[in-house]
Structure 1
Amino acid sequence: MLRMRPLPPISQFNKVLGSILKMGHYATALSLIQNKLQQFQVQVNICTFCIAINCYCYLNRVDFGLSLLGTLFKRSYTPDVTTFTTLINGLILQDKTPQAVELFKKLMRTREIEPDVVMYGTIVNGLCRTGNTIRAVSLLRIMEEGSCKPNTVVYSMIIDSLCKDRMVDDALKLFSTMDEKGIFPHVVTYTSLIHGLCNFGWWKEATRMFREMLDSGIAPDVHMYSVLLDGCTKEEKMKEAEGVLEGMIQRNMDPNVVTYNALMDGYCLQGQMDEAIRVFNTMVDRGLRSNVFSYNILINGYCKKMKIDEAMHLFRELPRRGLKPDNGTFSAMLWGLFQTGRCGAAQKLFNDMQTASIIPDSQTYGILLDGLCKNGHISEALSLFRTMENNSLHPNVVMYNILIDAFCKDKKLDIARALFNNLSSKGLQPDVKTYYDDIRFL
């Protein structure tokens, strides 16, 4: 294009730059704007600036984007709603939602621009991402009363956030409001609600809503089926779960790894390891590549059945499959080894974990402390506990309970009492288990 004479209009360059942006080649787009367009003296416009701002935002350099905003003003350009929405989204992407909200409020106060539904939706997304669902609902009410009405996307984001906050009743009420206002839900809306209902164990309501969605002519996607299948397995309805999988295949929809993992997990939870392995093999036969979560599910299942050798076989298979074990993998294996009294192997595995630069989380440390104590190694458990404290890792009340219980059983009440008295100085509140152990001091 730059060799053409006369040069194409900037609108043509912007189309190319926009395509490069959509492909995720942000640095390339910026290089073309900053070097090539300037070199050939192509006059950029506000759309070009907006593309550049977008690139900076996706590169986590919203500060450069804000600098470009200043350049816009100096060139007497008037930034439009899209420009400001881009900056707001950039701030949110960099976990700077409070600053994004402040910018939005300033725009509302000064009335520099009239926010559109995309800008409102961007702020709603930021609030929901940071757990400020109630504030997002308040903003929704402002939209409902104003001239810029919320659309399906805005309602769906808030419904999803309410469900994640376990406020499913409120999500259902908001869903009813959509119907009253003539705003039609889409598959994402239904997926969020069905997921929320399944998490509460409201299986009948979830299936009713699924049928309602089908009757409305909305086709379920793979994610929806995975959510529904996961709900079946949590309710131990494995026959229904297999039916969901069959329904997917009948609709010419390819189940993904998440779908098969959910089905495997259901069988593992019921101790049906042969069925879980069958599902795993089916997944591989269909050309899908298993991930570390697939292995974690099976390893955990075998450990719960005390089949540690089978679990260890899968654990050793991970590197051969190009997969790296994570905290979940090590935690499952450590639990299984301690449960079968293989303390030496467990401690070696923990050392291997640290050598692999995998930082243990609180669950892993809890398993270690519990395993050491139950196998009579309470001095080693206390030493590990002290190491955690010295490394600025903060033990929780569950870990204190494990040690207090172990020292009570070992008749070392002075150490148990010292641990109990230490809780308040660490800002921890004793729970029922702690107080039960406290009674044993008397």
Structure 2
Amino acid sequence: MARMRPLPSVIQFNQMLTCIVKMKNHYSSVISLFRDMCVQGIPVDEATLNIMINCCCVVGRVDLAFSTLSGFFKRGFVPNVVTFGTLLKGLFREQKVPQAQEFFKKIIKEKLCKPNETMLGIVIDGLCKAGNTQTAIEFLRAMEKRGSPCKPDAIMYNAVMDSLCKDKMVDEGLALLLEMIEKDIPPNVVTYSSLIQGLCNLSRWKDVDKLFSEMKVYKIVPDVITFSIVVDALCKEGHIEDAEEVVRIMIQQGRNPDLVTYSSLMDGYCLQRRIDDARRVFNTMIASGLTPDLHCYGILINAYYKTKKLEAAMKLFREIPHKGLTPDIVIYSTVLQGLFSSGRYLSAREIFKEVQASGMKPDFHTYCVVLDGLCKTGHVDEALELFHAMETDGTNLHIEMYNIILDGLCKGKRLDSARDVFNNLSLKGLDPNVITYNTMIAGLLSEGLLIEGKELILKMEEKGCLANSVTYNVILQGLLKGGHYDDAMVYHEEMVH
């Protein structure tokens, strides 16, 4: 297109950019193409600049978006309400709430554009998502006053209600629902879904039933999301049969359960260790034409390991690639934890090599699982080797990882090595926490080093790290084991005090 003479119209270039935007995840390509257009002198118009501003905001570069805004004035264009609305959304997306509020005030004060419902909805939604629900409510009230250019609509009320429910202020959300109805602002399925979610989180099942009845009166049909919310809440409460009944009602009403609904049912059965029922749900999901995602596989694999069904877990794990999915680090961590907890050291080691060979970067949880698994299966040297490799390659090591290594060394009767690791913590810029101290105190007392153990207890207190019940239990066990009954009584009285 750039080489054609005459050049295609700007409309055709905009159509091309719009197509790329709709593909999702290719916003950077649009930004690059826009720059090429400017360099090559290809004309752009207001629509082109709006596309560019939107892409900058989506990729988290609201600074570039504001630079593009200056392009309007340089070219003699006038930015419109879409332009300013997109910039506001970009600021809120990057959690720049004060800047967004100031920018909105500037738009109003300098009359840069006439705000519409969409722009005002962006402001309310942004405030709510940033946790400024009260400010959003005040904004809503200001819009209701006589002379306001726009009036609140269901979308704005929904944003506020959803935020209130997430803050466990469900009664305030219900009051807003009544207000909507009184003002002839029709609630929709999103309105009721937010309120039902809030009520489910508080186990207010009678109020949930009341809202479902109210939806019938207003001829609002619950969608899959509404039903999924209820199913998930019932499963978490252990009311799995009730959840199954909700799924049957869904199907009767022509609402096919989605992956979220089925995964909630599976999780509910797994929590009750009813693995055969969870597998039945998994199979039903496939029979209904849905393809299980990694989350579904992870739920079932984890349940198989917890019930010691290792072969079933590994068979399901090896099935994943054949279903067109690639196991992620969460799935690998689940498998590693299951194998280590079952004493299958060699199998776990092979899986970890598989992770490393794939080029996948283990996360914090994966490293903790492997280090802990190696230590608990008696392979402390291998854990130390991995730990030192992590230190060398710049992995961000947390105190939790050091605690795992210290525990392995102390239980392996390698107190000198544990002391070295503990004493080097300050050089790494890390502060021991209560678990670190408990581990070292237990290690010292198990070797009969009472004086050194007492010194560490004092050091712990001096550093402002408060002892917990585990600390006292460790001390008492160590003292009693060493025959220091008088000292044990002193610490017991201190604990009670």
Larger radius of gyration: 2
Partner of 2:134: 137
**Residue 324 (structure 1) shift:** 0.7
The reply on whether 1:194 has 2:196 as its aligned counterpart is yes
Equivalent positions of 1:124-203 (< 5 A) are: 124-129=124-129, 132-133=130-131, 135-146=132-143, 147=148, 148-164=150-166, 167-168=167-168, 170-180=169-179, 182=183, 183-199=185-201, 203=205
Partner of 2:430: 426
Distance of 1:14 and 1:190 partners within structure 2:
42
- For each residue in 1:62-101, what CA deviation from the matched residue of structure 2 results, as whole angstroms up to 9, or x when unmatched? 6665455334334554433222112333455677666545
Assess, with a 3 A threshold, how the Cα gap between structure 1 residues 212 and 371 changes in structure 2: closer, same or farther.
farther
Distance of 2:405 and 2:471 partners within structure 1:
14
Assess, with a 3 A threshold, how the Cα gap between structure 1 residues 435 and 153 changes in structure 2: closer, same or farther.
farther
Matched to 2:178, the amino acid is D
Normalising by structure 2, we get a TM-score of: 0.71
Partner of 2:123: 123
Distance of 2:472 and 2:420 partners within structure 1:
16
Partner of 1:4: none
Distance of 2:49 and 2:376 partners within structure 1:
64
Give the fraction of aligned pairs with identical amino acids, expressed as a percent. 41
**Residue 213 (structure 1) shift:** 3.9
> Where in structure 2 are there 5+ consecutive unaligned residues?
1-9, 436-467, 480-497
Contact 2:297 / 2:316 at 8 angstroms: preserved in 1? yes
> Where in structure 1 are there 5+ consecutive unaligned residues?
1-9
Partner of 2:355: 353
- For each residue in 1:261-320, what CA deviation from the matched residue of structure 2 results, as whole angstroms up to 9, or x when unmatched? 221222222222221221111111111112112211111111111111111111111111
Distance of 2:58 and 2:48 partners within structure 1:
16
Assess, with a 3 A threshold, how the Cα gap between structure 1 residues 21 and 327 changes in structure 2: closer, same or farther.
closer
Assess, with a 3 A threshold, how the Cα gap between structure 1 residues 103 and 354 changes in structure 2: closer, same or farther.
farther
Contact 1:417 / 1:441 at 8 angstroms: preserved in 2? no
Partner of 2:112: 112
Distance of 1:388 and 1:189 partners within structure 2:
49
Contact 2:409 / 2:418 at 8 angstroms: preserved in 1? yes
Matched to 2:175, the amino acid is S
**Residue 331 (structure 1) shift:** 1.5
Assess, with a 3 A threshold, how the Cα gap between structure 1 residues 185 and 413 changes in structure 2: closer, same or farther.
farther
Assess, with a 3 A threshold, how the Cα gap between structure 1 residues 389 and 18 changes in structure 2: closer, same or farther.
closer
Contact 1:229 / 1:259 at 8 angstroms: preserved in 2? yes
Contact 1:89 / 1:122 at 8 angstroms: preserved in 2? yes
**Residue 417 (structure 1) shift:** 5.4
Equivalent positions of 1:208-223 (< 5 A) are: 208-223=210-225
Partner of 1:321: 323
**Residue 116 (structure 1) shift:** 3.6
Assess, with a 3 A threshold, how the Cα gap between structure 1 residues 214 and 437 changes in structure 2: closer, same or farther.
farther
Higher relative contact order (CA 8 A, sep 6+): 1
Equivalent positions of 1:38-53 (< 5 A) are: 50=50, 53=53
Contact 1:232 / 1:238 at 8 angstroms: preserved in 2? yes
Partner of 1:342: 344
Supply the RMSD in Å over aligned alpha carbons.
Answer: 4.0
Distance of 2:91 and 2:385 partners within structure 1:
44
Distance of 1:320 and 1:226 partners within structure 2:
28
1:366 aligned to which of 361, 365, 368: 368
